[in-house]
Amino acid sequence: MRIVLDAMGSDDYPVPDVTGALMAAQEWPEDQVILVGQETAIKQTLGDVDTTGVSLEIVAADEVIEMDDEPAWAAREKKGSSMHVGMGLVRDGQADAFVSAGNTGGVLAVATLQTLKRIRRVKRPALAAILPLPAGQFVTLDIGANADCKPEYLVQFAVMGSVYAEAVLGRRNPRVALLSNGEERGKGNQLVKETTKLLEDSNLDFIGNVEPKEAMACSADVVVHDGFSGNIFIKTTEAAASMLNHLIRDEITASPITALGGLLAKPAFKRVAKCVDPFEIGGGPLLGVNGVVIVAHGRSNGRAIKNAIGQARHAVQGGVVEAIRQGVT
Amino acid sequence: MRIVLDAMGSDDYPVPDVTGALMAAQEWPEDQVILVGQETAIKQTLGDVDTTGVSLEIVAADEVIEMDDEPAWAAREKKGSSMHVGMGLVRDGQADAFVSAGNTGGVLAVATLQTLKRIRRVKRPALAAILPLPAGQFVTLDIGANADCKPEYLVQFAVMGSVYAEAVLGRRNPRVALLSNGEERGKGNQLVKETTKLLEDSNLDFIGNVEPKEAMACSADVVVHDGFSGNIFIKTTEAAASMLNHLIRDEITASPITALGGLLAKPAFKRVAKCVDPFEIGGGPLLGVNGVVIVAHGRSNGRAIKNAIGQARHAVQGGVVEAIRQGVT
């Protein structure tokens, strides 16, 4: 398998990106990792790391789409970027997947407008995430590619999410739910109500509405929503966890006795952190384009990048793109 | 001041409700608390509690709007309910505020369709919450009264939320923000983008978009959203906090050493719990109707009910209803 990594992706590129690529190449020596980006910067980062026996290739791309670049503009104007070159390799059959921790809007725009393009019949590609929670993992989409959605889009998201849950999480006949403000049928906004009717008529295993609490309890394998409320959902989960984390740390270190308690309880806190660590998954797929594309967090470290490459491997092995081509009608 | 409490409101009515009313009557002896509901049940609950010197009155209402009643139906058919009778007292000037931990949709329907009615020019009443977070408190609305909104509604929510933040939280010239999937101007769904233009032209202190993280950091005094995404926002915050709470408890009790650590750190955990305890606030106001209405959580205990009555006192003292009448144009 050949996986392209955007070396100019993360907030602190290229160090976390190159480090992650190296970790991946070491972990999966049968695969090839292709680093795309500014050659000098990549080579400097690799420095005198011993890369013998490691299948790491560099493909030059001079331009960089930065985090604050306007996505549509960057997709149009920076055609020599690592995103253009990297996804171009996937389009041309020279690689199997593309991974980037860069500007999410940029990845979207370069994928849909310039390189891989939408799969036939897919109305809107969607950005998905796998949430790793104590109760288990589930696929949640769209988390931000489409702020305004129509019922038909959500039905396609449900199909693409099911394909992903089956291929990557190994769920047979995945349970699909709509994120809503109440579980009862009839709750929801206009979009949820109209989508409900369409999903009930589909051949997906549609289980109805779920509230955030039930979603987090893993009561569905695929949770579907428009990109606006989905973005609120995922960012609120992150923000609430981070807020509590800081609050607990502050309160525990406030007195010597509670601080001692915190020290003794440290292994428990470490297990908790691991349980809700987004870097364990590394990245989420952009579903609906002609190729495997994984978007990682801008704040990724090397381990997160390596895990995002792992996601790409699963998606390629699971034949996600072909399954979406077959599934979306 | 005379405050009506729905004795048949909470999930375990009437015990938490009557207990909370008693606590409030003891804490604020200058005010009168009016318990509305089934007289026998209320009297049984009061039992042989000594109520001398406490200003507690009972007004009979035979019907009960249950949690699983369909709101519009219940508002139409159960005209003898504690909600109808209680809000009727406010409408008729015999009381200053109404507090209920009952069926939220029921309170909304009875208020808007049957008793208090909308304030003139208010297009849609909104349900607000005050979120008590480590960084401070802020008003967030709509959290569920209107799943589908138009930009004009959101502008009115902004006005009503500002009135509330000023009257109850004491904020001068409250900062207003729209909850969105990105902070930059231009981010957001169609609703956010169109509302942005209207708020920029208003005389509110509109500071732009906030993401969940900034909202939780109290970067605005009033956070405005449609009732669907607002409901996702608030329920995700609750669900994430509860999930982490359980996870930490499970991991800490998993070994004797971490359990000892947890025991020593207990005072810290107690402070954390108090910091994010929704029962500290007790309830959120239904804004835009002709009277002070506070909706408390169905799971309320006595302390939560007492605090919700405290919220009602603040809202009455702050002249919230009159200020909304003046402010909404």
Give B276-289 as a DSSP string.
T-GGGT-EEEEETB
How high is the pLDDT of residue B174?
97
| Mean pLDDT of the residues in chain B | 94
**Beta bridge partner(s), residue B35:** B5, B58
B262 touches chain A (CB under 8 A): yes
Give percent above pLDDT 90 in chain A.
Answer: 79
Q: Which chain A residues contact residue B251 at CB under 8 A?
A: 268-269, 271-272, 275
What does the pLDDT look like over A39-89, one tens digit per residue? Answer: 999 999 998 787 877 889 999 999 999 999 999 999 999 999 999 999 999
The nearest CA of chain B is from the CA of A169 a distance in Å of 22
Residue B126 has φ and ψ, to the nearest 5°, of -130, 150
CA dihedral A66, A72, A76, A81 (to 10 degrees): 30
Q: Are B280 and B274 in contact, with CB atoms under 8 Å apart? A: yes
Q: Which chain A residues contact residue B258 at CB under 8 A?
A: 264-268
Going through A8-66 in order, the beta strands assigned E by DSSP cover: 32-37, 56-60
d(CA A42, CA A79): 20
Helix/strand/coil (H, E, C) string of B144-171? CCCCCCCHHHHHHHHHHHHHHHHHHHCC
**Which tokens belong to B253?**
């009790």
Show which of residues 140-159 on chain A sit within 8 Å of chain B, judged by CB atoms.
144, 147-148
Distances (CA, A) of B4 to A179, A242, B8, B271, B309: 36, 39, 12, 32, 9
Give A275 or B235, the one with higher predicted confidence.
B235
CATH topology of domain B1-122+288-329: Isopropylmalate Dehydrogenase (3.40.718)
Amino acid identity for residue B312 in this structure: A
Query: Residue B154: exposed, middle, or buried by beta-carbon count in 10 A (0-12, 13-18, 19+)?
Result: buried
Q: Which chain B residues contact residue A153 at CB under 8 A?
A: none
d(CA A81, CA A87): 10
The shortest CB-CB distance from A243 to any of B134, B229, B271 is to: B134
A77 touches chain B (CB under 8 A): no
Place of tokens 């605005």: B220
- The reply to whether residue A134 touches residue B247, judged by beta carbons under 8 angstroms, is yes
Q: Are B231 and A212 in contact, with CB atoms under 8 Å apart? A: no
Per the omega criterion (within 30 degrees of 0), is the bond before A142 cis? yes
A45-49, B236-240, B297-301: least confidently modelled range? A45-49
How high is the pLDDT of residue B53?
78
Amino acid identity for residue A71 in this structure: P
Show which of residues 185-214 on chain A sit within 8 Å of chain B, judged by CB atoms.
187-190, 192, 211-213
Residue B52 has φ and ψ, to the nearest 5°, of -65, 140
What does the pLDDT look like over B139-167, one tens digit per residue? Answer: 999 999 999 999 999 999 999 999 999 99
Q: Are A241 and A276 in contact, with CB atoms under 8 Å apart? A: yes
d(CA B137, CA B158): 16
Q: Are A106 and A91 in contact, with CB atoms under 8 Å apart? A: no
The nearest CA of chain A is from the CA of B199 a distance in Å of 20
**Which tokens belong to B174?**
């409250």
A137 touches chain B (CB under 8 A): no
How high is the pLDDT of residue A271?
83
- The reply to whether residue A212 touches residue B232, judged by beta carbons under 8 angstroms, is yes
**Which tokens belong to B35?**
């318990």
SS3 of B141, please?
A: strand
d(CA A140, CA A153): 14
CA dihedral A62, A63, A66, A72 (to 10 degrees): -150
d(CA A234, CA A225): 11
Going through A91-238 in order, the beta strands assigned E by DSSP cover: 97-100, 126-133, 136-141, 175-179, 205-210, 222-224
The nearest CA of chain A is from the CA of B225 a distance in Å of 11
The shortest CB-CB distance from B239 to any of A216, A257, A275 is to: A216
The shortest CB-CB distance from B265 to any of A133, A242, A262 is to: A262
The segment with the largest mean pLDDT, out of B4-18, B131-145, B266-280, is: B4-18
How high is the pLDDT of residue A12?
94
Give A134 or B126, the one with higher predicted confidence.
B126
Q: Which chain A residues contact residue B250 at CB under 8 A?
A: 134
Give A72 or B133, the one with higher predicted confidence.
A72
Q: Which chain A residues contact residue B237 at CB under 8 A?
A: 236, 240
Place of tokens 């318990």: B35
Which residue on chain A is closest to B246 by alpha carbon?
A134
Predicted confidence (pLDDT) at residue B111 exceeds the cutoff of 90: yes
* Vertex A95: Cα angle to A93 and A97 (nearest 5): 115
C-alpha A144 chain-centroid distance: 11
Superfamily of domain B148-277: Isopropylmalate Dehydrogenase (3.40.718.10)
What does the pLDDT look like over B243-297, one tens digit per residue? Answer: 888 888 888 888 999 999 888 888 888 888 887 777 888 899 999 999 999 999 9
d(CA B229, CA B231): 5
How high is the pLDDT of residue B246?
87
Show which of residues 270-329 on chain A sit within 8 Å of chain B, judged by CB atoms.
271-272, 275-276
Chain A interface test: which of B251, B263, B272, B297 (most A C-beta within 10 Å): B251
Average pLDDT over residues A152-177: 96
Give A51 or B178, the one with higher predicted confidence.
B178
Amino acid identity for residue B99 in this structure: V
User: Which among B18, B27, B34, B14 has a CA at the least distance from the CA of B97?
Assistant: B34
Distances (CA, A) of B239 to A128, A211, A234, B245: 21, 9, 12, 10
Please indicate whether the domains covering B1-122+288-329 and B148-277 agree at the CATH topology level.
yes
CB atoms within 10 A of CB A100: 35
Whether the predicted interface score ipTM is above 0.90: yes
A181 touches chain B (CB under 8 A): yes
Chain B interface test: which of A73, A242, A244 (most B C-beta within 10 Å): A244
| Mean pLDDT of the residues in chain A | 94
Q: Residue A295: which H helix or E strand, with range? A: strand A292-296
B131 touches chain A (CB under 8 A): no
User: Which among B222, B217, B188 has a CA at the least distance from the CA of B204?
Assistant: B222
User: Could you tell me the residue ranges of all domains in chain A?
Assistant: 1-122+288-329, 130-277
How high is the pLDDT of residue B8?
97
Q: Which chain B residues contact residue A269 at CB under 8 A?
A: 248, 251
- The reply to whether residue A244 touches residue B148, judged by beta carbons under 8 angstroms, is no
What kind of architecture, by CATH, is found in domain A130-277? Answer: 3-Layer(aba) Sandwich (3.40)
d(CA A320, CA A166): 9
Predicted confidence (pLDDT) at residue A33 exceeds the cutoff of 80: yes
Give percent above pLDDT 90 in chain B.
Answer: 79
CA dihedral B287, B237, A244, B160 (to 10 degrees): -20
Q: Are B17 and B102 in contact, with CB atoms under 8 Å apart? A: no
B269 touches chain A (CB under 8 A): yes
d(CA B24, CA A80): 69
DSSP secondary-structure letter at A216? H
